[in-house]
């Protein structure tokens, strides 16, 4: 009986061992996969897009008469041209004769002057490669209200100059070989008078300075209307005595200097300026200059397309 019990126990143990060996091994919970850490970037962040730097402005030398500067016309016109074409204009305002001489010497790219005979010769001498009419106004004979020569209301410039000479009333001349000075000399010549004496003062100055001098001395002078009107706005007391004579017409021309004069001359910029100055938009702008405040156009556009 005892041996039987032992046999059963042995069988039970063997069966248990057999079941244990055949059972599948316990599997541990697998780890939850995680994203691998990203390597730190060594590249610099992309720079924000920027505008390309603007090219340095080109430079153009404009030799011109003092009347275009003293009247304020250049200050009114040039900023628009400089902005549109990225060009810096260096203005040298002298008498027309000096401006033309600068062109002859190759010291300017373009001229804006009012001395028709000198301009004609400049082109005939092939010192310029292109000339265009731009605008015109007129000369006037002005003086103090006292009018010692009694010229107020005269219609002919030569008659006024003769009366001034006869009365020995003080006359201030530009005396600077400008377009205005050239016109004054033409009027004296037409009147068959050689002005000389203490009454005739050669100032060697620009239009604005001569008007100021004539104002202080209560003298007569010949002036372009635009500069005169601009100076009146600043307190000039001189009055217009004589106007309207055809001899007093004052035309302005623009000229591109021959680039053969100097390697510094920029013919392309000069011609760009001329094209802009005679364009319909700029011609209208010239006509509008101070018109609203003064009631008249100080310069009248004169370019006519060929």
Q: Is residue 107 part of a domain?
A: yes
Residue 305's pLDDT is 67
Are 119 and 156 found together in one domain? Answer: no
Last residue in a domain, options 230, 248, 266:
248
Q: Is residue 81 part of a domain?
A: yes
Are 63 and 160 found together in one domain? Answer: no
pTM: 0.78
Residue 164's pLDDT is 98
Q: Are 71 and 230 in contact (CB under 8 A)?
A: yes
Residue 163's pLDDT is 98
Are 224 and 76 found together in one domain? Answer: no
pLDDT digits (tens, 9 = 90+) for 102-144: 999 999 999 999 999 999 999 999 999 999 999 999 999 999 9
Span between the terminal Cα atoms of the chain, in Å: 146
Q: CA separation (Å) from 32 to 29, 35, 36, 196?
A: 9, 10, 12, 115
Compute the C-alpha angle 35/36/41, nearest 5°. Answer: 120
Are 148 and 227 found together in one domain? Answer: yes
User: How many structural domains is the chain composed of?
Assistant: 2
Are 259 and 278 found together in one domain? Answer: yes
Are 124 and 256 found together in one domain? Answer: yes
Are 171 and 122 found together in one domain? Answer: no
Residue 1's pLDDT is 46
Residue 27's pLDDT is 39
Residue 304's pLDDT is 82
Residue 49's pLDDT is 52
Are 232 and 147 found together in one domain? Answer: yes
Are 149 and 290 found together in one domain? Answer: no
Q: Is residue 211 part of a domain?
A: yes
Residue 67, domain CATH: 3.40.190.10
Residue 31's pLDDT is 44
Give the structural domain span for 217.
138-248
Last residue in a domain, options 226, 248, 270:
248
Are 81 and 120 found together in one domain? Answer: yes
In the numeric block, the tokens 């010497």 are attached to: 105
Q: Is residue 294 part of a domain?
A: yes
Q: Is residue 39 part of a domain?
A: no
Paired strand residues for 94 = 65
Q: Is residue 289 part of a domain?
A: yes
Q: What residues of the chain score a pLDDT lower than 50?
A: 1-3, 5, 7-42, 44
Are 122 and 214 found together in one domain? Answer: no
Paired strand residues for 223 = 140
Last residue in a domain, options 204, 230, 248:
248
Are 259 and 271 found together in one domain? Answer: yes
């Amino acid at each position: 009986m005892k041996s039987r019990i032992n046999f059963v126990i042995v069988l039970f143990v063997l069966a248990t061992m057999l079941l244990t060996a055949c059972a599948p091994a316990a599997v541990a919970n697998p780890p939850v996969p995680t994203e691998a850490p990203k390597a730190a970037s060594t590249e610099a962040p992309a720079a924000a897009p920027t505008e390309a730097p603007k090219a340095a402005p080109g430079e153009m030398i404009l030799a011109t008469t003092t009347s275009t500067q003293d009247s304020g016309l250049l200050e009114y016109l040039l900023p628009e041209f400089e902005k549109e074409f990225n060009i810096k204009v260096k203005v040298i305002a002298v008498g027309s004769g000096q401006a033309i001489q600068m062109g002859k010497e190759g010291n300017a790219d373009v001229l804006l002057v009012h001395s028709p005979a000198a301009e004609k010769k400049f082109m005939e001498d092939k010192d310029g490669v292109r000339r265009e009419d731009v605008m015109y106004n007129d000369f006037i004979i002005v003086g103090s209200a006292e009018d010692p020569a009694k010229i107020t209301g005269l219609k002919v410039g030569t008659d006024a100059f003769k009366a001034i000479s006869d009365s020995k009333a003080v006359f201030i001349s530009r005396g600077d070989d400008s377009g205005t000075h050239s016109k004054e000399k033409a009027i004296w010549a037409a009147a068959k008078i050689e002005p000389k004496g203490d009454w005739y003062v050669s100032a060697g100055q620009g239009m604005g300075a001569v008007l100021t001098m004539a104002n202080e001395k209560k003298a007569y002078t010949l002036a372009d209307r635009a500069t005169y009107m601009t100076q009146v706005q600043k307190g000039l007391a001189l009055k217009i005595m004589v106007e309207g004579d055809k001899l007093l017409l004052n035309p302005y021309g623009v000229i591109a200097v021959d680039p053969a004069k100097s390697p510094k001359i920029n013919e392309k910029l000069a011609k760009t300026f001329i094209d802009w100055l005679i364009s319909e938009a700029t011609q209208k702008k010239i006509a509008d200059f101070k018109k609203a405040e003064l009631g008249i156009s100080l310069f009248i556009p004169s370019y006519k397309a060929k």
